[in-house]
Amino acid sequence: MTDACARAVRAPRVVIETCVVALLSGGHVMIEDVPGVGKTVLAKSLARAAGCDYSRLQCTADLLPADVTGVTVWDQNAAEFLFRPGPVFANVVLVDEINRASPKTQSALLECMEEGQVTVDGETRVLPLPFIIIATQNPVEYEGTFPLPEAQLDRFAVRIAIGYPAPGDEAAMLLDLAARDALDHVAPVADVAAIVAARDVVDRVHADPALAAYVVGLVEATRRDARIQLGASPRAGLALLRAAKARAVIEGRGYALPDDVRGLGRSVLAHRLILTPDARARGASAEEVVADALDAVPVPL
């Protein structure tokens, strides 16, 4: 599936694979990057490669929770209330500039992410499976935004950035895109049923107790770090192990390895850490703290 997406998106392979990992492990993705680097293309090509349906939601300050979840309306002809589903009723939902939505709307979105269901007018409706939110956030422009509280960032399994294409790549991309739409290159390699089945396979991947201890070791190392005010939560450890299992499936293994954990450590952990004001002032970064934890904690086996 990574290969299928890579036909449309010029991005480091690991970035695309991390999105596939999230899809297969039931996690949600935060893409923090500037405009025009291919966030939309990435979300669309993931949906297309996975054979899933796709919707997009542009966040603004006046977006209401009902604009996200849907509303019940009175149908004159049928003489009954009908539910008109909102954009979250899709397999892959791109939530653009999530930090522009009001805290109330953000929390409605996060409820969808956590519960896989929405409650409208007292009635609970189950969201489709698979259900993955790919939210975007611009790291440069903060004016008029409502930054997500850390407790809410913790709900995202991974955070990634796409970055600018390599110099040689960018010219090739321009020529290619001038000729045709990038999405034309992407052919479905799965469907909804296959993704749901793959999630079961991920659940059954073997993880050694030593591997779980390794994950805990990493998480604890972030908590002990002097640069850190708030370290990774148990939810973070859970997300890391689950992601590692998904990576094992992608690599065709029935068991997860320390390398799976290491490859995903930064994307899964960094966005959940809060630096002390002092460390921030000295230019430290959460990514650095994760890298140091990966260096310091002994790898099992």
Ligand X SMILES: Nc1ncnc2c1ncn2[C@@H]1O[C@H](COP(=O)(O)OP(=O)(O)O)[C@@H](O)[C@H]1O
Q: Footprint of ligand X on this chain (CB under 6 A)?
A: 9-11, 35-41, 162, 165, 173, 177, 182
| Residue 265 interacts with which of ligand X, Mg ion, none, CB < 5 to 8 Å by class | none
Q: Which is nearer to ligand X, 139 or 209 (CB)?
A: 139
Crossing angle between the packed helical segments 286-296 and 258-269, to the nearest 10 degrees: 160
User: What is the widest separation between alpha-carbon atoms in the chain?
Assistant: 68
Least Å from the CB of residue 132 to ligand X: 17
CB of 42 to Mg ion, least distance (A): 9
**Of these partners, ligand X, Mg ion, none, which one is at the site of residue 182 (CB under 5 to 8 Å by kind)?**
ligand X
- Smallest separation, CB 128 to ligand X (Å): 23
Q: Is 12 or 116 the residue whose CB approaches ligand X more closely?
A: 12
**Nearest residue to Mg ion, using CB?**
40
Among ligand X, Mg ion, none, residue 41 binds (CB under 5-8 Å by kind): ligand X
Contacts of 77 (CB under 8 A, 6+ apart): none
Answer for the pair 18, 158: CB distance below 8 angstroms, yes or no: yes
If binding is defined by CB under 5 A, does position 40 make contact with Mg ion? yes
Name the minimum Å distance from CB 208 to ligand X. 37
Query: Of Mg ion, ligand X, none, which one does residue 132 interact with (CB within 5 to 8 Å by kind)?
Result: none
Give φ, ψ of 229 to 5 degrees. -90, -40
Closer Cβ to Mg ion, 38 or 237, answer by number:
38
The stretch near Mg ion (CB under 5 A) out of 38-46, 61-69, 181-189, 269-277 is 38-46
Q: Which does 122 bind (CB under 5 to 8 A by kind): ligand X, Mg ion, none?
A: none
Give CA angle at 133 (130, 134), nearest 5°.
125
Question: How far apart are alpha carbons 291 and 286 in whole angstroms?
Answer: 9
Report the alpha-carbon distance of residue 238 to residue 230 in Å, rounded.
17
152, 193 Cβ separation under 8 angstroms: no
Our finding on whether 137 is near Mg ion (CB under 5 A) is no
Q: Count of CB atoms within 10 A of residue 297's CB?
A: 21
Nearer to ligand X, 8 or 118 (CB): 8
Nearest to 154 by CA among 27, 286, 272: 272
Task: Compare residues 120 and 173 and give the one whose CB is closer to ligand X.
Answer: 173
The tokens for 295 are: 């260096």
Q: Measured from the CB atom, is 39 or 247 closer to Mg ion?
A: 39
208 burial (CB, 10 Å; 0-12 / 13-18 / 19+) is middle
- Positions touching Mg ion (CB under 5 A) are 39-40
